[in-house]
């Protein structure tokens, strides 16, 4: 098995959406869905820009902008498909497809350049099997849009450089996609705001295309030209041939793997899945910018509004902290820089300090609406409380900031806005807390914890603990109420134990529609103990020092059967929890589930009538956490690292590098040994 390649054999049109996720390529600036070159919006073809949002006319929310597809290509009337292979080389981020039609063989290679992020490159080879075939390739504007259209004044222009330029609807952000190829002898066709080169081919033919993307507010090549001359100028500023770019791109990937590859000896299936997960994390990291973070669906389209959730702080941070501390810093800086959005949100609700957006978009603006789900029966929007009640988000950010500083030793972050952020979050919790007459402990009524199926509950254990951390960072002055314990089991929120203790099967059997939403007050889970995702277990994993092995074991066996795992963020928390009481056998299938989320596809794509499909970076980050913190048991003890392995029987040994306080270490654990070796300075 090649553990660095994802391959799909045979042509299946039905697979278009899953393949779009599975074969995604990206470089942090742009993500290109793994749809075939001839696909258009009906097959969810999309090139999604990081951090460029728009609200279309008469729409209620913003979403990221999908730009015209510079990779568009097809052979006219090629005849039946005789064979088809799609392949993603996850070591180098190069996607390829070979399709043998009756009248020609089409081979296309493409990549999103890691060495120069606003370029994407494509090599098309056509071998005709008849006298002449026609290849049409260019920039196609018919891309997927959920709540668009977002692009106005679309203009397609031909010439030596072909281009499509446009402006976003709401903020008038200029966008352009321009391309130059290394072949002549074509005819240029412009139609429907798209532009193509048409080649008549009678012998084996290859064309190499370099496509330059510009978005006015990105800080990368801001001189987005509006005229053809302008496009040419922008184009000229990106030097290099296809082959040179491929070489530079591959070199960047090699460097990324050098500091991040994890070797799982003896288990190719796990190895491929983990390589794939880390591939995704690398592909969506905004290394090029200082004001961006990572969206919950990465760069796989517009779902979840391209917004940044707690996923980044809790599920992605460990990977970037261990392997690319400078990128981890950018993720923290995004929150520091967007504190104004959080202050504004707190003020809107009448609180002090910083209440971060549940779905953070540009400038920290809240993207979550009060009606975030559409009821499948009535098709009416349903009032959800994620926006106003999921207050753990501010504490999650504080948690990540403290972990980052402790791991990297970068205490300067406190002076560069870190302390202000922590104080502002503490101010928020102070003003949001409630204290009963005659009592001293603070309480947090009316919240939503990580388990989104139970809205507006009191004293969610996770929320109270993370608020406690934030409030007491400086001095231990506040006492936040701990939840009730029953036989060592932590009650998820006040009154949880009194809810109906129905089995998952029973609750599932009550559904009347397969897309029905389980949460909100009328959902099937609300009056029961069935939860969407790890909640108490998530808290225990964030604060493992508070709990014994027995605590982990008891709570795991109580909560896991009551968890629907309706979020891809769930399995990894249970896997980590199982490692804490030595049950790698329980953790292993959950590791595979997390690492394979986008390889297998088929995850939940609908919340009520709202489409939520796309890639699952938090699940990928979770898989990394399971291997490093769970199987290897890596832990920081002040100035040093310790290991406490809990290896599943399938894996002989695990080896990985980490960068800790500016130095690189190689970690190796086997079934009965563990070692940490300092390699060199980074
Ligand atoms: C989960 C949240 C998560 C969001 C984005 C939801 O389904 O419940 O915890 O932040 O998806 O991944």
Return the best residue to mutate from 296, 359, 571 for the ligand 1 pocket (most ligand atoms within 8 A of CB).
296
CATH of the domain at 106: 2.70.98.40
pLDDT (0 to 100) of residue 14: 82
Does any ligand 1 atom lie closer than 6 A to the CB of residue 567?
yes
Measured in angstroms, how far is the CA atom of residue 345 from the centroid of ligand 1?
Answer: 20
Whole-number Cα distances in Å, 13 to 25, 102, 413, 556, 676: 20, 18, 49, 41, 48
Overall average pLDDT of the 501-507 stretch: 98
Whether 510 is in a domain gets the answer yes
**Is the same domain home to 266 and 204?**
no
pLDDT tens readout for residues 225-256? 455 566 666 666 677 899 999 999 999 999 99
Taking the C-alpha atoms of residue 572 and residue 619, their distance in angstroms, rounded to an integer, is 7
Taking the C-alpha atoms of residue 189 and residue 601, their distance in angstroms, rounded to an integer, is 37
Does any ligand 1 atom lie closer than 6 A to the CB of residue 450?
yes
* Ligand 1 atom nearest to 566, measured from its CA: 7
Return the best residue to mutate from 295, 305, 462, 567 for the ligand 1 pocket (most ligand atoms within 8 A of CB).
567
Measured in angstroms, how far is the CA atom of residue 251 from the centroid of ligand 1?
Answer: 34
Does any ligand 1 atom lie closer than 6 A to the CB of residue 61?
no
pLDDT (0 to 100) of residue 613: 82
Residue having the nearest C-alpha atom to atom 12 of ligand 1? 296
pLDDT-derived band at 648 (thresholds 50, 70, 90) equals: very high
Return the best residue to mutate from 311, 392, 454 for the ligand 1 pocket (most ligand atoms within 8 A of CB).
311
Does any ligand 1 atom lie closer than 6 A to the CB of residue 311?
yes
**What count of residues does the chain have?**
682
Taking the C-alpha atoms of residue 214 and residue 176, their distance in angstroms, rounded to an integer, is 5
**Is the same domain home to 504 and 623?**
yes
Whether 173 is in a domain gets the answer no
Print the SS3 string covering 536-581: HHHHHHHCHHHCCHHHHHHHHHHHHHHECCCCCCHHHHHHHHHHHC
Does any ligand 1 atom lie closer than 6 A to the CB of residue 452?
yes
| Structure tokens that stand for 603 in this block | 């995850």
Does any ligand 1 atom lie closer than 6 A to the CB of residue 390?
no
Taking the C-alpha atoms of residue 522 and residue 524, their distance in angstroms, rounded to an integer, is 7
Taking the C-alpha atoms of residue 404 and residue 279, their distance in angstroms, rounded to an integer, is 22
Overall average pLDDT of the 74-97 stretch: 98
pLDDT (0 to 100) of residue 605: 72
pLDDT (0 to 100) of residue 232: 64
Residue having the nearest C-alpha atom to atom 11 of ligand 1? 567
CATH of the domain at 369: 1.50.10.10
Does any ligand 1 atom lie closer than 6 A to the CB of residue 174?
no
Measured in angstroms, how far is the CA atom of residue 632 from the centroid of ligand 1?
Answer: 27
Q: Pick the more confident residue, 562 or 680.
A: 562
pLDDT-derived band at 219 (thresholds 50, 70, 90) equals: very low
**Is the same domain home to 390 and 520?**
yes
**Is the same domain home to 424 and 525?**
yes
Whether 172 is in a domain gets the answer no
Does any ligand 1 atom lie closer than 6 A to the CB of residue 207?
no
Return the best residue to mutate from 569, 604, 605, 611 for the ligand 1 pocket (most ligand atoms within 8 A of CB).
569
pLDDT at 560 over 90: yes
Taking the C-alpha atoms of residue 143 and residue 42, their distance in angstroms, rounded to an integer, is 8
Report CA Rg, the chain. Answer: 25
pLDDT (0 to 100) of residue 413: 98
**Is the same domain home to 464 and 563?**
yes
**Is the same domain home to 408 and 528?**
yes
**Is the same domain home to 430 and 545?**
yes
Measured in angstroms, how far is the CA atom of residue 28 from the centroid of ligand 1?
Answer: 21
pLDDT at 121 over 60: yes
Whether 631 is in a domain gets the answer yes
pLDDT (0 to 100) of residue 18: 84
Measured in angstroms, how far is the CA atom of residue 359 from the centroid of ligand 1?
Answer: 10
**Is the same domain home to 200 and 326?**
no
Whether 72 is in a domain gets the answer yes
| Structure tokens that stand for 660 in this block | 């800790």
Q: Which of 452, 455, 491, 564 is catalytic?
A: 452
Overall average pLDDT of the 441-467 stretch: 98
Does any ligand 1 atom lie closer than 6 A to the CB of residue 216?
no
Of 541, 399, 389, the C-alpha closest to 467 is: 399
**Is the same domain home to 205 and 341?**
no
- Rounded mean pLDDT of the chain? 94
pLDDT at 472 over 70: yes
Neighbouring C-alpha atoms within 13 Å toward the C-beta of 123: 12
- Concerning whether 452 is annotated as a catalytic residue, the answer is yes
Taking the C-alpha atoms of residue 584 and residue 577, their distance in angstroms, rounded to an integer, is 10
Q: What is the DSSP string of 341-377?
A: HHHHHHHHTT--S----SSB-GGG-B---S--EE-TT
Structurally, how many domains does the chain consist of? 2
Label residue 72 exposed, middle or buried (CB < 10 Å: 0-12, 13-18, 19+).
buried
Measured in angstroms, how far is the CA atom of residue 310 from the centroid of ligand 1?
Answer: 8
pLDDT at 318 over 80: yes
Q: What is the DSSP string of 71-128?
A: EEEEESS---EEEEEEEEETTTTEEEEEEEESSEEEEEEEEE-SSSTTEEEEEEEEEE
Of 130, 122, 127, the C-alpha closest to 249 is: 122
Overall average pLDDT of the 191-199 stretch: 97
In the DSSP assignment, the letter for residue 496 is: G
Does any ligand 1 atom lie closer than 6 A to the CB of residue 518?
no
Measured in angstroms, how far is the CA atom of residue 220 from the centroid of ligand 1?
Answer: 30
Whether 222 is in a domain gets the answer no
Does any ligand 1 atom lie closer than 6 A to the CB of residue 533?
yes
**Is the same domain home to 270 and 392?**
yes
pLDDT at 207 over 50: yes
**Is the same domain home to 459 and 371?**
yes
Does any ligand 1 atom lie closer than 6 A to the CB of residue 618?
yes
pLDDT at 611 over 80: no
Taking the C-alpha atoms of residue 402 and residue 114, their distance in angstroms, rounded to an integer, is 30
Give the residues across from 94 on adjacent strands.
Answer: 89, 111
Give the residues across from 608 on adjacent strands.
Answer: 374
Whether 245 is in a domain gets the answer no
Whether 534 is in a domain gets the answer yes
**Is the same domain home to 203 and 311?**
no
Instruction: Note down the domain range covering 102.
Output: 5-147+188-212
Measured in angstroms, how far is the CA atom of residue 309 from the centroid of ligand 1?
Answer: 7
């Amino acid at each position: 098995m090649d553990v660095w390649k994802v391959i799909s054999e045979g042509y299946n049109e039905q697979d278009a959406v899953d393949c779009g996720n599975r074969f995604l390529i990206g470089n942090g600036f742009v993500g290109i869905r793994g749809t075939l070159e001839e696909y258009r919006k009906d097959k969810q073809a999309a090139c999604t820009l990081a951090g460029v949002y728009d609200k279309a006319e008469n729409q209620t929310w913003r979403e990221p902008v999908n730009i015209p597809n510079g990779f568009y290509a097809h052979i006219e009337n090629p005849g039946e498909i005789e064979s088809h292979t799609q392949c993603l080389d996850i070591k180098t981020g190069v996607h390829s497809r070979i399709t043998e039609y009756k009248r020609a063989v089409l081979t296309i290679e493409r990549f999103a350049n890691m060495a120069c992020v606003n370029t994407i490159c494509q090599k098309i080879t056509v071998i005709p099997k008849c006298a002449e075939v026609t290849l049409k390739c260019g920039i196609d504007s018919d891309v997927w849009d959920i709540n668009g259209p977002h692009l106005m004044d679309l203009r397609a222009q031909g010439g030596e450089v072909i281009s499509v330029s446009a402006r976003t609807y709401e903020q008038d952000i200029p966008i352009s996609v321009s391309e130059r190829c290394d072949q002549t002898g074509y005819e240029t066709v412009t139609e429907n705001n798209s532009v193509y080169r048409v080649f008549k081919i009678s012998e084996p033919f290859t064309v190499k295309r370099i496509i330059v993307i510009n978005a006015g507010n990105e800080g990368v090549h801001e001189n987005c030209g509006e005229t053809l001359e302008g496009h040419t100028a922008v184009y000229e500023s990106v030097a290099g041939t296809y082959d040179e770019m491929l070489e530079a791109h591959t070199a960047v990937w090699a460097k990324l793997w050098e500091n991040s590859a994890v070797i799982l000896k003896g288990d190719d299936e796990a190895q491929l899945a983990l390589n794939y997960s880390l591939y995704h994390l690398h592909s969506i990291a905004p290394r090029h910018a200082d004001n961006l973070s990572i969206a919950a669906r990465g760069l796989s389209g517009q779902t979840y509004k391209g917004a940044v959730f707690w996923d980044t702080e809790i599920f992605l941070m460990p990977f970037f902290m261990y392997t690319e501390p400078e990128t981890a810093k950018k993720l923290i800086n995004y929150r520091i820089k967007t504190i104004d959005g959080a202050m504004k949100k707190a003020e809107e609700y009448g609180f002090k300090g910083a209440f971060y957006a549940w779905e953070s978009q540009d400038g920290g603006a809240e993207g979550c609406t009060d009606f975030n789900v559409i009821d499948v029966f009535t098709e009416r929007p349903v009032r959800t409380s994620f926006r106003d009640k999921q207050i753990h988000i501010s504490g999650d950010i504080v948690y990540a900031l403290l972990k980052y500083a402790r791991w990297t030793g970068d205490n300067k972050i406190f002076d560069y806005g870190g302390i202000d952020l922590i104080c502002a979050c503490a101010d928020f919790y102070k003003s949001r807390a409630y204290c009963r007459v005659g009592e001293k402990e603070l309480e947090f009524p009316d919240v939503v914890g990580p388990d989104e199926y139970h809205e507006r509950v009191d004293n969610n254990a996770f929320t109270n603990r993370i608020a406690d951390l934030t409030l007491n960072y400086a001095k231990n002055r506040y006492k936040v109420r701990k939840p009730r314990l029953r036989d060592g089991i932590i009650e998820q929120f006040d009154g949880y134990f009194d809810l109906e203790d129905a089995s998952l099967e029973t609750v599932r059997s009550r559904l009347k529609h397969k897309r029905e939403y389980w949460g909100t007050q009328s959902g099937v889970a609300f009056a029961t103990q069935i939860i969407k995702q790890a909640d108490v277990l998530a808290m225990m994993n964030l604060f493992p020092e508070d709990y014994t092995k027995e605590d982990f074991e008891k709570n795991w066996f109580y909560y896991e059967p009551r968890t629907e795992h309706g979020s891809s963020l769930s399995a990894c928390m249970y896997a980590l929890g199982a490692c804490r009481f030595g049950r790698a056998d329980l953790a292993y299938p959950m590791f595979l589930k997390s690492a394979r989320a986008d390889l297998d596809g088929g995850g939940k794509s609908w919340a009520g009538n709202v489409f939520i499909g796309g890639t699952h970076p938090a699940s990928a980050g979770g898989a990394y956490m399971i291997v490093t913190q769970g199987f290897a048991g890596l832990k920081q003890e002040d100035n040093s690292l310790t290991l406490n392995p809990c290896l599943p029987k399938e894996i002989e040994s695990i080896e990985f590098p980490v960068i800790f306080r500016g130095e690189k270490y190689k970690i190796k654990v086997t079934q009965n040994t563990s070692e940490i070796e300092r390699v060199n300075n980074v």
